[in-house]
Copies of this chain bind each other. A is one copy, B any other.
Amino acid sequence: MKAIATRGASDINAPGAFEEIDIERPSPEGEDVLVRIEAVSVNPVDTKVRAGALGDISEPTILGWDATGIVEAIGERVSDLAVGERIYYSGEVNRPGCNAQYQLIDSRLVARAPQTLDIEEIAAMPLTALTAWEALFDKLRLAQDTSDHGDQTLLIINGAGGVGSIAIQMARQLTGIRVIATASREQSVQWCREMGAHDVVDHHNLVNELKRLDLEDVDYIFNCHDIGVHWDNMVSLIKPLGEIVAIAETKQQVDLNALQGKAASFHWEFMFARPLHDVQREQQGAALATLARLLDEGRLRSTLGEIVGPLNVENLTRAHQMLEEGHTIGKLVLTAMPQN
């Protein structure tokens, strides 16, 4: 089978970051299924791994952890999926990714794909939706049922990014919570409004922007950006006993003491933690099944931003470049590699 691989590349603009390789198609064992990839999405984790975040890469390595495709074969312990079914999943960052014609994936981490969406719309969803789901429900412990959150407030920093876009939508499904997203460019402000944010504020002047909304502070912050960049703002804006969840590390020093006086909580959400540490894998399959239902019911919509083209060296390089330049709105998706 063909795949797009990297041998590690800190600079995506230098030539040779990716290459096409031809390797033996694997066979599924145990809990695994073999998937024929139909569409994939790219995420910041792809660019970080490519640049060496998980260690130097020497052997050709297949990135990509966001996909939809058709089950081609199943391992001997798989009983709830059949050949021919369309599934979607994020997967495991320490196993070969989806930038390939075929991929092995642990069946506990997948769910049947939504039935009413295009494959490109589907591929945009798993990693970011799982991240937002775990952040809102496992970490901030917002109520999934119809419990009223009263006049609670949730600030989503970087609302137009992949995770922010679906987090806004999910939070809007909850009862009573006011969703404030940050964005600065006209196009991303508009996008956040389309996702359902009650308010959109400029992250360059966050404390004053919230004052403009008559808000001194917020109950919850979901930071989808570098935690260091917004640390002081978060310290100012979180309510006493409030909770912050974040997904992106920082190179800056942050002063953890600064949250003490408010007795605030700081949670890391890292979608790959469950598979990486082999705990509660089934919960990710279950969450994706619920998310597929919400997408089919139209309560959530795909955050697909742009279809870059079929998966090949040129398009994958371009997708990584676009992600690293920032300012993408919604998700970048690539379609299947040609089968010949």
**Interface residue ranges, A against B (CB under 8 Å):** 134, 138-139, 141, 227, 239-241, 249-250, 253-254, 256-257, 259-270, 273-274, 276-277, 279-280
Contacts and interface: CB of A to CB of B under 8 A. Distances in A.
B227 A274 contact: no
B139 A274 contact: no
Given A240-B279, A273-B241, A279-B241, A256 B266 contact: yes
Contacts of A264: 267-268
A270 B276 contact: no
A208 to B, nearest CB: 21
Given A256-B227, A279-B241, A270 B261 contact: yes
Given A240-B279, A279-B241, A268 B259 contact: yes
Give the most central of A261, A268, A280: most B CB within 10 Å.
A268
B256 A260 contact: no
A262 B277 contact: yes
How many monomers of this protein are in the complex?
2
A227 to B, nearest CB: 7
Given A240-B279, A241-B274, A279-B240, A262 B268 contact: yes
Contact of A262 (B134, B256, B265, B273): B273
B254 A263 contact: no
Contacts of A273: 240-241, 261-263
14 contacts: A138-B241, A141-B141, A240-B276, A241-B280, A254-B256, A256-B256, A259-B268, A260-B268, A260-B270, A261-B270, A262-B273, A263-B273, A264-B267, A265-B266
Contacts of A265: 139, 265-268
- Give the 9 A-B residue pairs with the shortest CB-CB distance, closest first: A263-B273, A240-B277, A263-B270, A249-B257, A265-B267, A260-B268, A266-B266, A263-B268, A240-B273
Contacts of A138: 241
A113 B228 CA distance: 46
A154 B110 CA distance: 32
Nearest to A269: B263
Contacts of A262: 268, 270, 273, 277
Given A266-B265, A266-B266, A267-B265, A250 B257 contact: yes
A93 to B, nearest CB: 10
A300 B82 CA distance: 56
A161 to B, nearest CB: 17
A333 to B, nearest CB: 26
Contacts of A253: 253
A65 to B, nearest CB: 15
B274 A240 contact: yes
A238 to B, nearest CB: 11
A277 B264 CA distance: 12
